[in-house]
Structure 1
Amino acid sequence: MAWLLGPALVAGVAYLDPGNVASNMTAGARYGYLLVWVVVLGNAMAWLIQYLSAKLGVVTGQSLPEILGARLKNRWARRAYWLQAELVAMATDVAEVIGGAVALTLLFGIDLLWGGVITGCVSLALLMIQSVRGAKPFEFVIMGLLVIIAIGFAAGVFVGPPDASGVLEGLVPRFTDTGSVLLAASILGATIMPHAIYAHSALSRDRFARHRHEREHRVLHEGGVGVGRILRATRWDVTIALLIAGSVNLAILLLAAANLPGIAGTDSLEGAYLAIRDGLGAAVATAFAIGLLASGLASTSVGAYAGAEIMRGLLKVRLPLLARRLFTLIPALIILATQVEPTLALVVSQVVLSFGIPFALVPLVVLTAQRRTLGAYRNRVWTTAIGVVASIFIITLNVILLWLVASGA
């Protein structure tokens, strides 16, 4: 069954992008252990969401954007949906390219703009692997980067461990002010990534399409043994991927909560790096920067893959790989060129992603609950109920955020 694993680990890189690092690091530095519960809850919701996305791709042989492109008959509705999804993809690239650029600056002193260009070029090379060599080699490269990310971000927790009682207190859901709500929305936007929902269905489709077609009659008309086996493996795949991603995200917040509060400038990636270097040593700081670089390179490749799938599925348009890469890379380079504070841009981009979640999540829950779409593999009632509750929670959090910001609270 091991050969069936992989798509979730690739999609899971989206949960460890530089936006996650910025959001979790800022949350820990500003509020200590207060938002631990948001990371844990977000990861739990992400498990169900990513499994539903993968199931959709496995059973139907289509991605979520493809199905929506076929179901949305009104071309203006389809274009409007594409536009919001494309803005989400751009916000994703902003976070990932800026993170890679910051890492190159920390490690080698490279200018931020040139660091962004280098990050974009390397991500294009990684995408070429997927286009030329197929899904499996691409998965191996991304999983290698995932190992580097995990080591780089988690190392500091073992050198500067968190307070156990503080961690337990942080599991109690609560907010203190508008800033904590903003960061909670940012963490959720970084944890439950809309483009990861789109990408996972496509990754599963790409990996299992040939296998599914070869067994189509026996699988769908003679008991579903083949699809059932793939779905069992997918549950393991998602569990492993989210266990890794959740643990590393929690480690980032705990690292900041335990070692960075009260230190000036630690709500930025550069300031956090310097504080980690001064407090925990150069080796831990270098590991952090290397993890940030690997995070930017891996996640921007997955983000560009998702963006291409969004355009292909909804607009039936295939752009050349280079053109597609430039389409979402340019906004990130503009931000770097205008010298907007990188960490602020990262956190705001994650809030944008949080507002894009319902547009991916609600259709996913609806489609996977339909017999018309998944037949015998449609969601059980309790699965759909949990998906609805998760959707309502995320939408409510965003409404509260808007109200607090508008009222100046």
Structure 2
Amino acid sequence: MSTSLTEPRSTFQRARSATVLLGPAFVAAIAYVDPGNVASNISAGAKFGYLLVWVIVMANVMAGLVQFLSAKLGLVTGMSLPEAVRDKAGRKTRLAYWAQAETVAMATDLAEVVGGAIALKLLFNLPLLLGGVITGIVSLGLLLVQNKRGQKPFERVITGMLAVIAIGFLASVVISPPSASGTIGGLVPRFDGSESVLLAAAMIGATVMPHAVYLHSALARDRHGSPEPGPARARLLRITRYDVGLAMLLAGTVNLAMLLMAAGTLRGREDVDSLESAHAAVRDTLGPAAGLLLAIGLLASGLASTSVGAYAGAMIMEGLLNRTIPLLVRRLITLIPALVILAIGVDPTQALIISQVVLSFGIPFALIPLVHFTADRNLMGDDVNPRLTTALAWLVALIISALNVALIYLTVTGK
């Protein structure tokens, strides 16, 4: 009798203990549902219907592998990815590497601040510049939570905002369910002209983002430390797989909902060429409630993702240059370029496109060192990647880098 009562309790305690260890991947997952994702996914659904469903699925599977390798690097070595690069590179290389990584962080913040500003304009009719300033101030407040209260409260806040984003974008799919046959048909890999290739590259570029790859290694290390080889590390790596899997499942579901909503309700409309017009189309087609929830989801996306992006920028600087700067300064470093773009009147949609192109330059610089380090037995010991994992990781790095080169080429040439 006592055994039967004790057994379920011990199982529950083990499950609860594992659940407490979840969290870092959900912070990193914010990068996968930022305003850049919203723009590219809605554009893909509106222009090509269900054609690119397979891209969402492929991108999130690849992202799951990349994020796990990043977390594993931090847990096993006790170093973030930028710190590992600093440890292996000379001074000039470190400075050049930091310059491109910081540029990528600024481009990330551009997309996220613009997204937040657009959401505030949709909700309260605020000017874009004022919306950008408010987005920056709120994100600074979220960073203060992390700076003063530690990582766990920050994780809870960001995970809560991830839930708001999910509700905001899943609501439209619930209100107007997509075609089941269209969705299944969209799982077959194919393109329809160069524009669909451009959108596919933009979708993947907006999904596998350099700053999330850099950041996750530090998030996992700072949350859990770097345990010695043995059962404790093996358990932590196993729980990290679940953490990444659940976070990527949620982010992938939200991204898929964006595309399915656009494919089901906006397909063929000529006036869906920006986030504002997409919001208007959803409001007109599905009603004010759907439009309101979409705007709220976009606002949560902008606020949460710009906070995480600024956090990543500080971690990149500290890791590569071994320098820590004050919270307000590090927030301003990536925020000011975004505010300048809004102040001079650059079209928000064009700004989002520019940010995605800049992000594309940074993808190989994050992925290639990550795969190289996690495949290095001298660095990883017995937790080195199995050969199959390494082969898959190199394939993922090649595919993502090639598609981002295609994005840059097609955007610059206008083809």
TM-score by length of 1: 0.94
Match of 1:203 in 2: 219
Deviation at 1:398, TM superposition (A): 3.1
Residue 298 of structure 2 corresponds to 292
Assess, with a 3 A threshold, how the Cα gap between structure 1 residues 313 and 347 changes in structure 2: closer, same or farther.
same
How do residues 6-405 of structure 1 correspond to structure 2 at under 5 angstroms? 6-73=23-90, 75-209=91-225, 212=226, 216=227, 219-220=228-229, 224-402=230-408, 404=410
Identity %: 61
From the superposition, tell whether residues 34 and 351 of structure 1 become closer, same or farther in structure 2 (CA, over 3 Å).
Answer: farther
Contact in 2 for aligned 1:30/1:267 (Cα 8 Å)? no
Cα gap change, 1:184 to 1:361, in 2 (>3 Å): same
Change (3 A) 1:150 1:135: same
Q: Provide, for residues 360-403 of structure 1, a one-character-per-residue CA deviation record: whole Å limited to 9, x for no partner.
A: 01110110011111111110000000001111112222344455
Deviates more, 1:29-38 or 1:161-170: 161-170
The letter of the residue matching 1:188 is I
Superimposed CA distance per residue, residues 325-349 of structure 1 (whole angstroms, 9 cap, x where no aligned partner): 1111111111111222212322332
Q: Secondary structure at the match of 1:235?
A: helix
1:259 touches 1:279 (CA, 8 Å); kept in 2?
A: yes
**Contact between 2:201 and 2:406, CA under 8 Å: does it hold in 1?**
no
Letter of the 1:364 counterpart: L
User: What is the CA–CA distance in structure 1 between the aligned matches of 2:186 and 2:60, rounded to whole Å?
Assistant: 15
Residue 408 of structure 1 deviates from its aligned partner by: 5.8
CA contact 1:56–1:63 (8 Å) conserved in 2: yes
Separation (CA, whole Å) in 2 of partners of 1:12 and 1:360:
16
When residues 378 and 248 of structure 1 are mapped into structure 2, their CA distance, relative to the original with a 3 A threshold, is same
Cα 1:132–1:403 change in 2 (3 A) is closer
**Structure 1 residues 240-249 or 55-64, which shifts more?**
55-64
Which range moved further: 157-166 or 114-123?
157-166
Measured at CA, do residues 404 and 144 of structure 1 come closer, stay the same or move farther in structure 2, by a change above 3 Å? closer
Q: Structure 1: which 5+ residue stretches go unaligned?
A: none
Q: What is the total number of aligned residue pairs between the two structures?
A: 398
Once the two structures are superposed, what CA deviation does each residue of 1:69-116 show, in whole Å capped at 9, x if it has no partner? 11102x221111111111111111011101111111111111110100
Q: Is the 8 A contact 2:27 2:155 kept in 1?
A: yes
Where structure 2 has 5 or more consecutive residues not aligned to the other structure, the ranges are 1-17
Shift of 1:159: 1.2
How far the C-alpha of 1:407 sits from its partner, in A, is: 6.4
Per-residue CA deviation, residues 306-359 of structure 1 (Å, 9 max, x unaligned), is 100111111122111111111111111111112222123223322322331111
Alpha carbon RMSD of aligned pairs, Å? 1.4
Aligned-residue offset at 1:276: 0.7
* Aligned partner of residue 245 in structure 1, secondary structure: helix
Amino acid at match of 1:76: K
Q: Distance in 2 between matches of 1:334 and 1:38?
A: 33
Look up the equivalent residue of 1:336 and give its one-letter code: L
- Kept after mapping to 2: 8 A contact 1:12/1:241: yes
Cα distance change of structure 1 residues 405 and 146 upon mapping to structure 2, 3 Å threshold:
closer
CA contact (8 A) 1:185 1:354 kept: no
Larger mean Cα displacement after TM superposition, 23-32 or 358-367: 23-32
Kindly state the Cα deviation for residue 181 of structure 1 after the two structures are TM-superposed.
1.9
1:140 and 1:200 mapped to 2: Cα distance?
16
- Matched residue SS, 1:244: helix
Q: CA deviation at 1:265?
A: 2.4
Distance in 2 (CA, whole Å) between partners of 1:404 and 1:111 is 32
Tell me the residue number matched to 1:3: 20
TM-score, with structure 2 as normaliser? 0.93
Change (3 A) 1:111 1:169: same
Secondary structure in 2 matching 1:362: helix
Q: Retained in 2: the 8 A contact 1:189–1:352?
A: no
How far apart are 1:35 and its partner, in Å?
1.5
Distance in 1 between residues matched to 2:414 and 2:285, nearest whole Å: 36
Q: Does structure 1 retain, via aligned residues, the 8 Å contact 2:79–2:218?
A: yes
Letter in 1 for 2:296: I
Q: Deviations over 1:265-291 (max 9, x none)?
A: 212111111111111011111000001
